[in-house]
Each structure stands twice: as structure tokens, then as C-alpha cells.
A and B are shown apart, each in its own frame.
Chain A
Amino acid sequence: MRDLITVLHLTWFEAMRRRILGAALLCGGAFLVLFGIGIHFIVREMHGDNAALLERRMVLNFITLAGMYAVNFLTVMSAVLLPVDTLSGEIESGVSQTLASKPIRRSSILLGKWLAYLTVVLGYLTLMGGGVALVSRLVAGFSLPGLGVGLPLMILEATILTSLSIAGGTRLSTVTNGVMAFGLYGLAFIGGWVEQVGAWSDNEAARHVGVAASLLIPSESMWQLAASQMQPALMREMHFSPFSPASVPSPAMVAWAAGYAVVLVLVAVRSYERRAL
């Protein structure tokens, strides 16, 4: 455990020293300011139009969900890119030989790095997701429903992608790992849309294709479930926005996603332990 904590500290220190955290916070802050300005003008226009309360709430829900979608996208990028070369880069450069020849378990190296990047990504997601909800509340007086369920689902999505990137790094080169992780994410993304179109048009085959893609990599289905939770039932039923899925992933998919993340980490540990360095 001591070794794991040492690697965890080093990885955090690296994120700070290389200004990764600073850059993320700066860009995140700029995003929230822009989002706040945007929602401010939308609210002002709706006041001028004397929009009905229900219409106002639905528009604000849509805008806030759009903000959460952007946060989700930025988190996906961070979850894949931040750890993409942490193992493959060290293996290629020979740094891992110096580390692994110490009297420590390789699992401590891997889990220390995984935990460090996961906490950075989740911290970023929480700050940004919470920030979007807070800005919406402060500027427009709108409270995003279902945030307590939606945010953990987004966290699960980020956990899957961070673990995928770490696991890939134990065997693949940095570029291949990045291509692979984004390729799988793209597959899940398209699969999710195929499932929605299938559900909307009653096309069972298309739905099954989408479900299969979600089983293969359940990241996107977690966002769809999160988005459906972060809107009122009426808006969801009316399919008011692109964030109102026609086919809502089941709770079983959440269990699958959680198990998927655990298995990814176990596979990563085993793969790194057996790898020739």
C-alpha cells in the first residue's frame, strides 16, 4: 500500500508540475464563464418573450443538459488522453525498468497511476458538472433535476474510459492505445445512436446492434442514462431534445458497466505483471 501511495503522489505531482491541472482548471473556468454568459442572454430573451413557465423550464433544462454534454465530452477526452502514455511511454523509454526493478509489486505501480488519473478526471468532472449546474442555478434560477443520479453515471463512464486507457497502455504503444480507446468510444457513440434510431422507428435489428455495441463498451450508454435522469419525465417522454433517449439503458447496464470497469482494471494489472519490460 505504501508503494501504491508513493506512485499516486508522484503521478499527482507530475500532473501539477507539467501544468496539466492548471491548464484543465483554466480552460474549465473559461468554459463555465462562457456557459454563464450564454445562459444569461437566453434567460433575458425568454423574459422579453414572456415565455410560459413550462416552456422556460424545458429550454433551460435543454441548455443545461447541453452544458453537461460538453462537460461529458471534455471528460471523455481527459479520461482517454491523460493516462494514454503513462505506461506505454514509460515502457518505451525504459523508465519502467527503473521502477519495476525496485522491491515493489507491479500492481502497486499500475494501481497508483490508475487511482491518480481517476481522481484527477473525476475531480475535473465533478467541478465542471457541478459548475454547470451551479451556474444554471445562479444565473437562471434553474435546478437541474436528477443531478445526484446523473453525475455518478457520468463518473462511471469516466472510470471505464480511464481504465480502458490504462489497460491498453500495458500492451499497446501510445498512439495505438489512443486510437484504440477513441475507436471503441466512437463505436459506443454510434452504437448508441443506432439504438435510439432503432427504438424510435421500431427497428428491432437496429436496437440489437446498439445494445451489442453498449455491451462491448458501455461508456456511451452511461451518458444516455445520465441524460435521461437529468430531465423531467414529461420532457423525456416527449423526446423534446437529442438528450431524451427513445431507448433508456436499463439498470442492468449500470451493473454491467461497473463490472466492466472492475474487470478492465484486473486485466490491466495481470497484463502489466506478466509483461516483459
Chain B
Amino acid sequence: MTGPAIETQSLRRRFGDKLAVADLSLTVDPGEVFGFLGPNGAGKTTSLKMLLGLIAPTSGSGRLMGVPIGERRARERVGFLPEHFRFQDWLTGRELLQFHGRLFGMSGTALEQRIEALLARVDLLDAAHQRVSTYSKGMTQRVGLAQALLHSPRLVFLDEPTSGLDPIGRRLVRDIIRELKADGVTVFLNSHLLSEVEQTCDRVVFVKQGRIVREMRLGSEAHGLELELRLGAVSEEAAIALAAMGSGAREEQGRWRLRLEGEAQVADVVRMLVARGVAVYGVRSSLPTLEQLFLEVLGDEVRPG
């Protein structure tokens, strides 16, 4: 595949007086695991629905694997797991996958083999003959994941895929996302569980009021290092010097924390403290967590959803 897996220009959607998505312009590369983050009401679900052709944009444009969004062809190689996967619960798990497979144009042995493989992958072989109405929330989510992968899509949209799953189920989803990435499949992940996103995504964007406010690549030092120091008594002069060496210096529960630009600065900080007579009992550096970045980027405007 050449060109971006997802490309949008100024997508906008208004519902009456309410502007759900103000201006969404993004590019997702093929094979990338992409996190789409933001507080409740940030326009994430509306954006996702526009990409899938479930909602028409008020203005702007977009393409999925080169095909304009909204066109039927744009959804041919796309899999989608909605946030609250629901389907006719009078079907059995296997019947549900057979029906979805036929909607993807699959049939015969190829479909049956694919269903068998996916039921095994999401650990539902034993429950395949049961009606979906008897499934737990986690089982429903897993059969939903299987339907999204039936036709071996090249682009998969996962909206809160670990919702309702226990730790084992969450690990299963993480493993599947890693397998998809290894196969070169693009994954567009919308999740509130930032630790999950942190473990699976290559890149994330933060969305606020339907606009991308920050984009960042994960697993690099591009966003600095979080330094935690266990110190003896810190003079006012040493505290001022410490604050000047990084950002966000603060003392919490007897430990000092500040953000440095990179690892090279750690030794400078320790030298400076020792030179000012401050006893250094412990030093620990780590990449900032996604939750820290989320709160930093979205700031005070984030309210509990």
C-alpha cells in the first residue's frame, strides 16, 4: 500500500448548535498503531464515525487507503469494533461470524476456516455454539473483535477494545494488536485506558473540542525524562538552582520531581546538588507516563467525564 492509511483534511461536524468536531486534520501511516486520545466529549467517537462513513462530515474531506471516506470501497479492507459492540443476541457466536463474513463477501470453506481460526484466537471455540445473549461482556467484546478481523483487514478501528475485559482479556487484545502490527496492519485505537495505549501505540494525538492539540511519538525521550530524587535538607538556593535545570520542579511526599530534557542532564543535576551540600540518597529517571502527558497537554480544562 502506498500513501497514508488514513488522511483527513479539516474534517468538521456540527450537530445543530453544537460543534462536535471543529477541525480534524491527521495522517496515519500504514502499519502504524495510532492512539486517538482525549477527554469525554472531545469528539473522538464522532471523528471515528466520520472516518467509517457512519456520519457525513459537515465539511472537510478524508481518505482511507486512498479512497474517499463515505464510499463503500473505503470500507472494503477496514475492520471496526465499536465501543459497545452489540449484535443480534439470538445468534450464536459462530452464526454471528458467518453472517458478518458474508457481508464482507466471504463464503464457503475459506469463511469457515477463518472463523475457526479467529474463534480459537479470541478463545471462544468452546462457546461458539452458545447464543450471544448468554455471553459475558468480555466474551461479547472478544467475538466483536473476531468479526472486525474476519476479512483480514489492512486497517482496523478499535473503539475502547478492552472495555469490559479482565486482565487476561486485555492482554489478549494487546497481543492481537501486536500481531496486527507485525503483519503490517494499521490500527486506529481509541481508548481511555492510557496504560493500554502506552503499551501498544507507536504514536498518539490528543484531541480537544474536535481539534488535535498535540501529537507525540511514544517510547522516545522526545518528551523529556521524569526525574525523581530522594534528598536530604534542600536549601532555598539549591531549590532555586534545581528548578532552573528542568521544568515542573516540585516536592511531593519528601521526594523531589522535575522534568529534564534528556539523560545527559541527570549527572549535571546530581553534581549541582552535591556541590551545594545537599545529600543525595536516591535518583530515579523514567519516561513520563502517558497519563502525565495527557494531563499536561489537556491541562485544567479536563473535567471528569
In the assembled complex, the Cα of A179 lies from the Cα of B91 at a distance in Å of 29
Q: Does A274 contact B (CB under 8 A)?
A: yes
- B76 pairs with A103, CB closer than 8 A: yes
Q: Which of B53, B78, B91, B99 contacts A6 (CB 8 A)?
A: B99
Give the interface segment out of A55-63, A70-78, A94-102, A240-248: A94-102
A274 touches B56 (CB 8 A): yes
B87 contact from A6, A17, A95, Cβ within 8 A: A95
Separation in Å of the A248 CB from the closest CB of chain B?
45
CA distance A17 to B15 in the complex (A): 38
How distant is the Cα of A99 from the Cα of B104 in the complex, in angstroms? 10
With A6-B102, A99-B103, A276-B55 known as contacts, the answer to whether A105 contacts B84 (CB < 8 A) is no
Contact of A10 with B53 at beta-carbon distance under 8 Å, contacts A98-B82, A103-B72 already known:
no
Establish whether residues A101 and B52, one from each chain, have CB atoms under 8 Å apart when the complex forms. yes
Query: Are the C-beta atoms of B54 and A95 separated by less than 8 Å?
Result: no
A14 to B82 CA separation, bound complex (whole angstroms): 22
> Contacts of B78 on A, CB cut-off 8 Å?
101, 103
A93 interfacial contact with B, CB 8 Å: yes
CA distance A14 to B102 in the complex (A): 16
Residue B49 at the A interface, CB < 8 A?
yes
Structural contact, B49 and A277, CB atoms closer than 8 A: yes
From DSSP, what is the main secondary structure of chain A's interface residues?
A: helix
A105 and B75 alpha carbons, distance in the complex (Å): 11
Report whether B75 and A94 are in contact in the complex, using a CB–CB cutoff of 8 Å: no
Contacts of B80 in A (CB 8 A): 97-98, 101
B86 touches A2 (CB 8 A): no
Neighbouring A residues of B105 by C-beta, 8 Å: 2, 103
Given known pairs A14-B90, A104-B103, the reply for A277 and B84 (CB within 8 Å) is no
Contact B102 A101 (CB under 8 A): no
Q: Closest residue of chain B to A274, judged by CB?
A: B56
Q: Smallest CB-CB separation from B50: which chain A residue?
A: A276
Q: Which residues of A contact B53 (CB under 8 A)?
A: 100-101
Known: A93-B86, A94-B82, A95-B87. A276 touches B99 (CB 8 A): no
Q: Is A18 an interface residue (CB 8 A)?
A: yes
Partner of A276, one of B56, B76, B91, B144: B56
**How near does chain A come to B41, taking the closest CB pair, in angstroms?**
17
Quick one: given A274-B56, A276-B54, A277-B49, are A103 and B99 in contact (CB under 8 Å)? Answer: no
Given contacts A3-B103, A93-B86, A94-B84, contact A103 B75 (CB under 8 A): yes
Q: How far is the CA of A93 from the CA of B103 in the complex (A)?
A: 20
Question: A14 to chain B: which residues have CB within 8 Å?
Answer: 88, 90
B86 touches A98 (CB 8 A): yes
Q: A95 CA to B54 CA in the complex, in Å?
A: 12
Against B, the Cβ 8 Å flags (1 = close, 0 = not) of A84-126 are 0000000001110111111111000000000000000000000
Q: Are B85 and A98 in contact (CB under 8 A)?
A: yes
Establish whether residues A6 and B103, one from each chain, have CB atoms under 8 Å apart when the complex forms: yes
Complex Cα distance A95/B144, Å? 11
- Whether a CB of chain A sits under 8 angstroms from the CB of B73 is yes
CB distance A102 to B104 under 8 Å?
A: yes
Give every chain B residue within 8 A of A97 (Cβ-Cβ).
Answer: 49, 52, 54, 80, 82
Contact with B along A2-29 (1 / 0, CB 8 A): 1100100010001001100000000000
B100 is an interface residue with CB less than 8 A from chain A: yes
A100-B103 in contact (CB<8A)? no
From 17 to 70 in chain B, residues with beta carbon under 8 angstroms from any chain A beta carbon are: 49, 52-56
Q: Which residue of B lies closest to A10 (CB)?
A: B99
Chain A residues with CB under 8 Å of B49's CB are 97, 276-277
Say yes or no for B8: interface residue by CB 8 A criterion: no
The interface residues of chain A lying within 8 Å CB-to-CB of B75 are 101-103
B13 to chain A: closest CB distance in Å? 9
Q: Is B147 close to A, CB under 8 A?
A: yes
Closest beta carbon of chain A to B35's beta carbon, Å: 20
Complex Cα distance A100/B54, Å?
Answer: 7
Minimum Cβ distance to chain B for residue A130 (Å): 30
Most buried by A among B49, B54, B78: B54
Q: Contacts of B85 on A, CB cut-off 8 Å?
A: 94, 98
Q: Which of A155-174 contact B (CB under 8 A)?
A: none
Q: Please give me the 6 A-B residue pairs with the lowest Cβ-Cβ distance, nearest first.
A: A102-B103, A103-B75, A101-B80, A277-B54, A103-B76, A276-B55
- Please, could you name 10 A-B residue pairs with CB atoms under 8 Å apart, sorted by A? A10-B99, A17-B90, A94-B84, A97-B54, A97-B80, A99-B103, A100-B54, A101-B78, A103-B75, A103-B103
